Structures are given as structure tokens and as C-alpha cells.
């Protein structure tokens, strides 16, 4: 039996959605063309965009379709930075690489403050308050951390920013489908989502941009996406994104309940087998599908390889360091403990999993633990 338990790095493309999208392949026109096939494609695109916008309580024109959340995050950050002379921006130590690396690159030209997480995995809203300056133009904070599942105090931060010019950019990739994502309630000015984290296709995502806010396009060319992102729209994948968002929103309660049950069972079985472990961060401030575990008895790199050979597919933090296992920057920021950062593994569950798969994960972990303790 093999078990994939790495759904935070990607999810399988829902077959039902794939089939429905295939049926729309005949609408092949270029949405920018003025003849009938073009108009048909434009109408389909508009329909999907409307569905997408409704799922986060936005307007259709506030949705910029991108090639994924990486591009959307780049557009939010660079597109804002480009519009200011000497901007100051605030982000956190625990962002996804697409946000963190973008800010690191910009920090050579602009001033960027990186906020640290506490041991509970959370950014302190007071830290943010104290870091605000008169020239702060952008604050980027994720809603759910992709390594620990920690739910960040975005509501509190939005409240603080109410009487400040700084815009709020929220990476909600790991939140959608697991908790409510409503741009109005969140008070987000910009928000990013990705198709392949919610059982849609890879290579599609979006940036929500509140009406009235201007961004400098990062991809220039035609006037697609209201001149905020040039390039012929991938109508089929936009359709798939709309369907994936619809299904994830409709089934959110059942899916997250199942994820929570799987996670709970996992932690209980680890305890029952007396495998030494600690949960990184606060279990009560965690999204349903992710948990991050410190195993003091093995480095993650070894454990991942041993588990892979045993048919258990899991990762150490994010999948974004292409094949290498580096100490997690998230665990490092939380605990300032490199050993802990090197010995932590992320397990991310799905409603698609069965309970006996959890038992299999723990039994393989137990076998490796026993082998190492000899
Ligand atoms: C996966 C992920 C991204 C990147 O999304 P892509 O669509 O793969 O570019 C960004 N942020 C978070 C939190 C993620 O988990």
C-alpha cells in the first residue's frame, strides 16, 4: 500500500472537473477576436470569471487570471512596488517562497521589514503595528501557512491597516476550501489563489485586486485582463478553476471535517505507538489539512527517503526547494532552532484519504523509528 500525504504541495486534478472541461474544448476561439468564435470564448470566459468572483465575494473585474499563485504574488508585490518612489513594505519570515524570495530580491532596492513568527506559528499583529511607517505601501501576509497550517491574524491586521494607506495582500492558497475566504470580511486589497491546491489544474491561479487599486502590469502586451496581465486567456483552465472553486466551496464543511479527523487519528496513533514527536505550532490555530511534526530522533532528509521507499509520500516543509531538504525557514523563524528545523516533517491530508492509510503511515514511521533506535 502506498500513501500520498502531501496534498499541500499539490492535489490530483478532479476527474469530474476534467471531464466537464473537456466537453467545453469546442469553444476554442480567442476571446480577443471579434468574430463569433471569439465572442463565444469571451462570453464563456466572462461566465467563468463571474463564478470565480462569487466564490470569494468579489466582482468579476476584480479578478486577474494568472498562471498560478507564484505569478499572482509577484504581480501583487512588484506591481505595487513599481508605482512608488522609495516604498517601505512589510511581510513575514514564514511566507511561501513566491512571496519571500520576491521581497528578498526587492530588498536590495527598497526597504522591507520581515516579521518573525512565535513558537505558536503566528505573526504578532502588534509587531506589525509597530513596524508601520508613513511610507509603508504594502503588507503581505498569508492566511494559512503552507508548512505548519497556522492561521494568521489577518482580520486583526486588516483592522490595524484601516487607518493607514498601506495595502493588504493575502496569500490564501492554503486557506481556500478549508476555511472561509471572503475578501470583504478579510479586508484584503489583494488576494491570491492557485488551482492545483484545490483539485484543479496546475498552471492557473488568480489575483483578486480591489476595485480602484492600480498595479503596474508585469507581463505587458495586449490589453487582456484589463491591461493588468497580457496574454491570451486559457479559457479551459479558467473554467476548471471556476469548477474547482465551486466544488471546494460547496464541500468545504465535509472536506475539512474529514481532514481534521484524519489528522486527529494520525496524532493519536503516533502517541499510542509511543513514537516521540512534538507538533510544531498551535494545534488550535491550524487549518484542517496540515500538521507539522518534529521527530527528535531523525533528520527529515533521512526520514523522507526511508518513507518514500516504504511508499509514504510526504515532504519537509514546502516542495519549493526543488529536491533538496533544507532546514525549514518557517520552523527556524518559530523556534530559532536549526536542529528542530532539520527534523520536522509536514503531513498534509485530503478528504480523499481513508483512515487505514493513516494507520499505514504510522506503522511505517514506527518501523523506521524502531530500526533507528536499535
Ligand atoms: C503552492 C503555493 C503557492 C504557489 O502556487 P503556484 O500556483 O504553484 O505558483 C503560493 N503560496 C502558497 C501558500 C502555496 O502553498
What tens digit of pLDDT does each residue of 263-312 get?
A: 999 999 999 999 999 999 999 999 999 999 999 999 999 999 999 999 99
Kindly give the residue spans of alpha helices, DSSP state H, lying in 26-153.
36-55, 69-81, 97-106, 125-131
Task: Provide the pLDDT for residue 124.
Answer: 97
Report, as an integer, the average pLDDT of 212-232. Answer: 95
Distance between CA atoms of residues 292 and 348, nearest Å: 8
pLDDT at 52 exceeding the cut of 60: yes
pLDDT in tens, 169-214: 999 999 999 999 999 999 999 999 999 999 999 999 999 999 999 9
pLDDT in tens, 148-170: 999 999 999 999 999 999 999 99
Domains and CATH numbers, the chain: 3-10+252-373 (3.90.1150.10), 15-247 (3.40.640.10)
Task: Provide the pLDDT for residue 325.
Answer: 67
Handedness of CA 307, 337, 293, 193 (dihedral sign): negative
The catalytic position among 320, 321, 352, 366 is 320
Contact 318, 94 (CB under 8 A): no
pLDDT at 221 exceeding the cut of 80: yes
Report, as an integer, the average pLDDT of 98-122. Answer: 95
Measured in angstroms, how far is the CA atom of residue 148 from the centroid of ligand 1? 14
Task: Provide the pLDDT for residue 326.
Answer: 78
Contact 62, 53 (CB under 8 A): yes
Q: What is the pTM for the complete model shown? A: 0.96
pLDDT at 322 exceeding the cut of 80: no
Measured in angstroms, how far is the CA atom of residue 195 from the centroid of ligand 1? 9
Per-residue pLDDT band at 318 (split at 50, 70, 90): low
Could you please report the per-residue DSSP string of 180-221? ---HHHHT-SEEEEEGGGTTS-SS-EEEEE-TT-----SS-S
Beta carbon of 194 within 6 Å of any ligand 1 atom: yes
Task: Provide the pLDDT for residue 324.
Answer: 60
Cell 511581510 found at: 91
Q: Is 320 a catalytic residue?
A: yes
Amino acid at each position: 500500500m502506498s500513501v500520498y500525504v502531501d496534498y499541500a504541495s499539490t492535489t490530483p486534478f478532479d476527474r469530474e472537473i476534467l471531464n466537464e472541461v473537456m466537453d467545453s474544448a469546442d469553444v476554442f476561439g480567442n476571446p480577443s477576436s471579434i468574430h463569433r468564435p471569439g465572442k463565444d470564448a469571451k462570453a464563456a470566459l466572462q461566465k467563468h470569471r463571474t463564478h470565480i468572483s462569487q466564490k470569494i465575494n468579489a466582482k468579476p473585474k476584480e479578478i486577474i487570471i494568472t498562471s498560478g499563485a507564484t505569478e499572482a504574488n509577484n504581480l501583487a508585490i512588484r506591481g505595487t512596488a513599481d508605482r512608488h518612489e522609495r516604498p517601505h513594505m512589510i511581510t513575514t519570515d514564514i511566507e511561501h517562497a513566491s512571496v519571500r524570495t520576491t521581497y528578498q530580491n526587492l530588498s536590495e532596492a527598497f526597504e522591507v521589514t520581515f516579521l518573525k513568527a512565535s513558537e505558536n506559528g503566528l505573526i504578532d499583529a502588534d509587531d506589525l503595528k509597530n513596524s508601520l511607517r508613513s511610507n509603508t505601501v504594502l503588507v503581505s501576509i498569508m492566511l494559512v501557512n503552507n508548512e505548519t497550517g497556522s492561521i494568521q491574524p489577518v482580520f486583526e491586521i486588516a483592522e490595524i491597516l484601516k487607518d493607514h494607506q498601506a495595502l493588504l495582500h493575502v496569500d490564501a492558497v492554503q486557506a481556500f476550501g478549508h476555511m472561509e475566504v471572503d475578501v470583504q470580511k478579510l479586508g484584503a486589497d489583494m488576494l491570491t489563489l492557485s488551482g492545483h491546491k484545490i483539485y484543479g489544474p496546475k498552471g492557473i491561479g488568480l489575483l483578486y485586486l480591489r476595485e480602484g487599486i492600480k498595479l503596474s502590469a508585469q507581463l505587458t502586451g495586449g490589453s487582456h485582463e484589463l491591461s493588468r496581465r497580457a496574454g491570451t486567456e486559457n479559457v479551459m483552465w479558467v473554467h476548471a478553476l471556476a469548477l474547482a472553486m465551486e466544488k471546494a466551496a460547496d464541500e468545504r464543511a465535509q472536506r475539512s471535517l474529514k481532514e481534521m479527523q484524519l489528522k486527529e487519528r494520525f496524532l493519536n496513533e503516533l502517541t499510542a505507538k509511543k513514537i516521540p514527536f512534538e507538533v510544531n505550532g498551535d494545534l488550535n490555530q491550524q487549518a484542517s489539512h496540515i500538521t507539522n511534526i518534529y521527530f527528535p530522533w531523525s533528520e527529515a532528509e533521512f526520514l523522507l527517503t526511508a518513507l518514500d521507499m516504504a511508499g509514504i509520500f510526504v515532504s519537509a516543509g514546502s516542495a519549493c526547494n526543488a529536491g533538496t531538504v533544507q532546514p525549514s525557514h518557517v520552523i527556524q523563524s518559530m523556534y530559532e532552532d536549526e536542529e528542530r528545523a532539520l527534523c520536522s516533517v509536514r503531513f498534509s491530508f485530503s478528504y480523499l484519504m481513508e483512515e487505514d492509510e493513516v494507520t499505514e503511515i504510522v506503522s511505517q514511521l514506527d518501523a523506521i523509528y524502531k530500526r533507528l533506535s536499535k
